[in-house]
Amino acid sequence: MRSFQSIRWRLQIWYGLLLIAALAGFGAAIFRVESARQFRQLDEELQRRVQVLAKSRHPVPNARPPRQQFVLLPENSALFDQGGAAEFYYVVWLHGGDAPIRSSTAPVDIPMPQNNTAASVRARGTLREAFLLPAPGDCLLVGHRTERDIAESHHLAWWLLIAGGGVVLLGLTVGSYLVHRALKPVRDISFAAQKVATGDLTQRIASSTSGSELGQLVNVLNSTFARLDAAFTQQAHFTADAAHELRTPVSVILAQAQYGLSNACENDEHREVFEASQRAANRMRHLIDSLLDLARLDAGQESPDRKPCDLATIAADCLELIRPMATARSIQIHADLRSAICTGDADRLAQVITNLLTNAVHYNYDGGEVQVSTRHDSGIATLVVRNTGPGITAEDLPRIFERFYRADKARTGSAGRTGLGLAIAKAIVQSHGGSITVTSELEKGATFTVSLPN
Amino acid sequence: MRLLVVEDEPDLLSVLVRAARKEGYAVDSAADGEEALYKAESTDYDAIVLDIMLPRLDGWEVLSRLRKTKATPVLILTARDRSTDRVRGLDIGADDYLVKPFDIPELFARLRAIIRRGANQSRAILELGEVRIDTAARTVTRNGKPVTLTAREYVVLEYLALHRGEVSSRTTLYEHLFDEDEATLSNILDVHIYNLRKKLGQDFIVTRRGHGYCIE
């Protein structure tokens, strides 16, 4: 249910609730006003008819004691029981009479309003009645059946409900579209930021609304990305230039040393000097090559020569290179190479595997063991290199992939060791979208695991 | 064999020149692009070692201008190690590409290879009847027996052997065997030819009167 926590859904829900509340309030007001208007109109009609009834009540001439009689003129009787006035009825009580005069459609069981009734309009069930008490015991009452009015107001209520529902639906749809549009820059930003986070520093956020608040954020982020990109490029260029500038002086030393050696000097001391220079120059040469490798991997300049290749065959080739070195120190190599297809640059992967194998032999006891295995499961090709060396201390373990970090501080390695091998291996594996990890226990050896996606 | 070494780093240039002379090459040098182009166009070198980052005219420019008139084998020797640079160099017309820092033995092996290919020879060993020349080891045998030659004699022999069947004039031989710094005696070539004939047989090198020398 993570999606319901998104800004988009919360905005939608709040907006929808607000819209429904507003429409409900509005509808209720319309309904009330309309009903009130309808009843007020009805009451006026009722009062008018009561007045007509009042005029139809006359004293009986010469009657003793004086009596009242009720005579409805024919033109007035059209106000009741017929045609457009079919729902109006009247009941007239004279002298508290038990037998009221009533129109033909009047209900039979109408109680006579009591004198003390203050209101001149009353509602009984679906009936609405207005009355006048002209004299004690006399009562003129006009009633109206309100079923049709009630039905009408129900009708109105239904229409209001349907219209309201329609407006809510329309509102939600348009709102959803607007929210979608309003949040598009946010999605663009997070998409670009994600790409930048995974290493594509050339990514920029496309923004069409540079004036808006998000537009300003986009500009800030873009300039940050640009500076980040520039810093990385600059660093990569610097490393590349530095390595490049070192090539010429190193070649002078190397050439001079080799020329000196070729002059077959019998003098052992001279020979040693030249040999030492040659070794140092060769070491610098490896260092330069490694630094350039790293600079290019950092800058993402590696030409993508990615093809499906089998870690097992690459590892088998690398093993053949390493075997003489292992044999010289009586180290046994156990290989369990099962097909492990991955997509990558075979030369680069060979560089990684050779590095791991060289380390496994180099940092091992004479007569130790090196185990190499490759396997493939659920889309991941895995290579494991394990040795029986002295292992890596817990303090060194997290820093082992850092540049120039060496577990053996004494720097007693052979000329080829630059302290960059594992850093390069890691950079290569990462440029393939894979991962490299190490575990180790002191005196029990170390295990390096490379995982590469299919 | 006469080489032109183009390199703007003086220390590297000097060691390259010394090492090449020791290998038996006649060596000219140039420290900038203009000088390099002038020398390369006016002399028939057997090979040119060319740096790319040069003052005045860079290596790319020197090579592409040179290729309009001459097919001299060129080995690019540079600190630029990117594969795009290698491709560019070879496409402009370089015959080989070597990245600094380099091993001197490798440089000379590559030079021998491009010189051989320039003379349409693919093998390092040249067999001329009973005479066998190993250009890599710089040794000569006749009927399986080693023949001792001086460095200069070997160079004359190697040049004529690489261009077997062609007549090489005295001027051409002088141009290929001696560099600009050497003051040569006019008859020194005759001395070398005389000695070679003595060691390898009188008919091995033929004299074409008025034209020059030739191995058939």
CA distance B187 to chain A (A): 30
**Taking CB atoms and an 8 Å limit, are A255 and B12 in contact across chains?**
yes
Cα A171 to Cα A15, A124, A168: the distances in Å are 9, 42, 5
Instruction: Please give the share of chain B, as a percent, with pLDDT higher than 70.
Output: 98
B125-214: which CATH number, 1.10.10.10, 3.40.50.970, 1.20.1250.20, 3.40.1260.10?
Answer: 1.10.10.10
- Note the pLDDT of residue B65: 93
Helix, strand or coil, per DSSP, at residue B132: strand
Residue A277 contacts B, CB cutoff 8 Å: no
B51 to chain A, closest Cα gap in Å: 11
For residues A81 and A86, what is the distance between their CA atoms, to the nearest angstrom? 4
Higher pLDDT, residue B113 or A109: B113
Domains of chain A, residue spans? 2-151, 213-299, 307-453
Please give, one letter per residue, the 3-state secondary structure of chain A.
CHHHHCHHHHHHHHHHHHHHHHHHHHHHHHHHHHHHHHHHHHHHHHHHHHHHHHHCEEECCCCCCCCEEECCCHHHHCCCCCHHHCCEEEEEECCCCCCCEECCCCCCCCCCCCCCCCCCEEEECCEEEEEECCCCCCEEEEEEECHHHHHHHHHHHHHHHHHHHHHHHHHHHHHHHHHHHHHHHHHHHHHHHHHHHCCCCCCCCCCCCCCCHHHHHHHHHHHHHHHHHHHHHHHHHHHHHHHHHHHHHHHHHHHHHHHHHHCCCCCHHHHHHHHHHHHHHHHHHHHHHHHHHHHHHHHCCCCCCCEEEEHHHHHHHHHHHHHHHHHHCCCEEEEEECCCEEEECHHHHHHHHHHHHHHHHHCCCCCCEEEEEEEEECCEEEEEEEECCCCCCCCCHHHCCCCCCCCCCCCCCCCCCCCCHHHHHHHHHHHCCCEEEEEEECCCEEEEEEEEEC
User: Chain B partners of A259 at a C-beta cutoff of 8 Å?
Assistant: 15, 18-19, 22, 104
- For residue B84, the Cα-to-chain-centroid distance in whole angstroms is 28
Residue ranges, CATH 1.10.10.10, chain B: 125-214
Chain A contact for B100, CB < 8 A? Answer: yes
Residues of B within 8 A of A281 (CB-CB) are 101
**Cβ neighbours of B81 in A, within 8 Å:** 247, 289, 292
**Is cis: bond before B101, omega within 30 of 0?**
yes
A236, two tokens: 């990569």
**Residue A239 forms contact with B (CB below 8 Å):** no
Q: Is the pLDDT of residue A82 over 80?
A: no
A248 part of contact set with chain B, CB < 8 Å:
yes
Model confidence at A158, in pLDDT bands (50, 70, 90)?
A: very high
Residues of chain A positioned with their CB less than 8 A from the CB of B12: 248, 251-252, 255
Mean pLDDT across A208-237: 80
* B19 and chain A in contact, CB less than 8 A: yes
Say if CB B48 and CB B40 are below 8 A apart: yes
Instruction: Tell me if chain A has a CB within 8 Å of the CB of B91.
Output: no
What's the complex ipTM? 0.77
Judge if the upstream peptide bond of residue A65 is cis by omega within 30 degrees of 0: yes
The span from the CA of A218 to the CA of B70, in Å, is 58
H or E element: which one contains B59? helix B59-66
Please tell me whether residue B158 adopts helix, strand or coil conformation.
helix
Question: Is residue A181 within 8 Å of A214, Cβ to Cβ?
Answer: no
What's the rounded Cα separation, in Å, for the pair A32 and A27?
9
Q: Which helix (H) or strand (E) holds B212?
A: strand B212-214
Interface test with A, best of B6, B12, B49 (most A CBs within 10 A): B12
Contact A254 B101 (CB under 8 A): yes
What residue in A sits closest to B12 (Cα-Cα)? A252
Please name every residue paired with A89 in a beta bridge, in sequence order, or none if there are none. A143
Q: What is the pLDDT of residues B172-213, one digit of tens each?
A: 888 888 877 776 666 778 888 888 888 888 788 888 887 888
How far apart, in whole angstroms, are the C-alpha atoms of residue B173 and residue A40? 132
Chain A residues near residue B102 by CB distance under 8 angstroms: 251, 254-255
**Contact (CB, 8 A) for A262 and B104:** yes
Residue B202, exposed/middle/buried by CB under 10 A (0-12, 13-18, 19+)? exposed
Q: Which of B11, B79, B83 minimises the CB distance to A247?
A: B79
Q: Is the pLDDT of residue A2 over 70?
A: no
> According to the model, what pLDDT value does residue A415 have?
44
- The partner residue sitting opposite A285, judged by closest CB among B80, B101, B105, is B101
The answer on pLDDT for A122 being more than 90 is: no
Its CATH class, for the domain covering B2-118, is alpha beta
**B79/A252 touch (CB, cutoff 8 Å), yes or no:** no
B12, A254: Cβ pair inside 8 Å?
no
Contact state of B103 with A254 under an 8 Å Cβ cutoff: yes
Question: Is B55 in CB contact (< 8 Å) with chain A?
Answer: no
CB-CB neighbors (< 8 A) of B98 in chain A: none
| pLDDT one-digit tens code per residue, B121-140 | 777 788 888 888 888 888 88
Tell me which CATH code domain A213-299 carries.
Answer: 1.10.287
Mean local confidence (pLDDT), B50-76: 91
Q: Which of A256, A258, A289 sits opposite B103 (nearest CB)?
A: A258
Q: In this complex, do A259 and B18 lie within 8 Å of one another by their Cβ atoms? A: yes
Select the residue of B19, B22, B101 nearest A251 (Cβ to Cβ): B101
A251: tokens are 């070649």
B105 Cβ under 8 Å from any chain A Cβ: yes
Q: List the one residue out of B154, B172, B155 whose CA is nearest residue B213.
A: B172
Q: Which two tokens stand for residue A433?
A: 């979208």
Among candidate residues B48, B47, B31, B94, the one with its CA nearest the CA of residue B67: B94
Asked if the model's pLDDT at residue B73 lies above 60, the reply is yes
- With beta carbons under 8 A apart, name residues in chain A contacting B10: none
Encoded tokens for A401: 């992939």
CATH 3.40.50.2300-classified regions of chain B: 2-118
Model pLDDT for residues A331-343, shown as the tens digit of each residue: 999 989 898 888 8
Q: Is residue A363's pLDDT more than 80?
A: yes
What's the gap in Å between the CA of B182 and the closest CA on chain A?
Answer: 22
CATH class label, A307-453: alpha beta
Q: Which value, to the nearest 10 degrees, does the dihedral of the CA atoms of residues A50, A56, A59, A61 take?
A: 180
Cα(first)–Cα(last) distance of chain A, in Å? 31
Is B50 in contact with B94 (CB distance < 8 Å)? yes
What dihedral do alpha carbons A401, A341, A362, A293 form, nearest 10°? -50
CA B90 – CA B75 distance, rounded (Å): 9
- A107-140 as b/e, with b when 16 or more CB fall inside 10 Å? eeebebbeeeeeebeeeeeebbbbbbbeeeebbb
DSSP label of B168 = B
What percent of chain B is helix, strand and coil (3-state, nearest 5)?
40, 20, 40
Answer whether B109 touches A (CB < 8 Å).
Answer: no
Angle in degrees, 0-180, between the axes of helices B59-66 and B83-92, rounded to the nearest 10 = 30
Interface residue B99 vs chain A (CB under 8 A): yes
A412 pLDDT tier (thresholds 50, 70, 90) = low
Q: Tell me what the pLDDT averaged over chain B comes to.
A: 87
Retrieve residue B115's tokens.
């010189």
Tokens of B9: 């780093």
* SS3 state of residue B57: coil
Chain A residues whose beta carbon lies within 8 Å of the beta carbon of residue B99 = 247
What per-residue confidence (pLDDT) applies to A1? Answer: 45
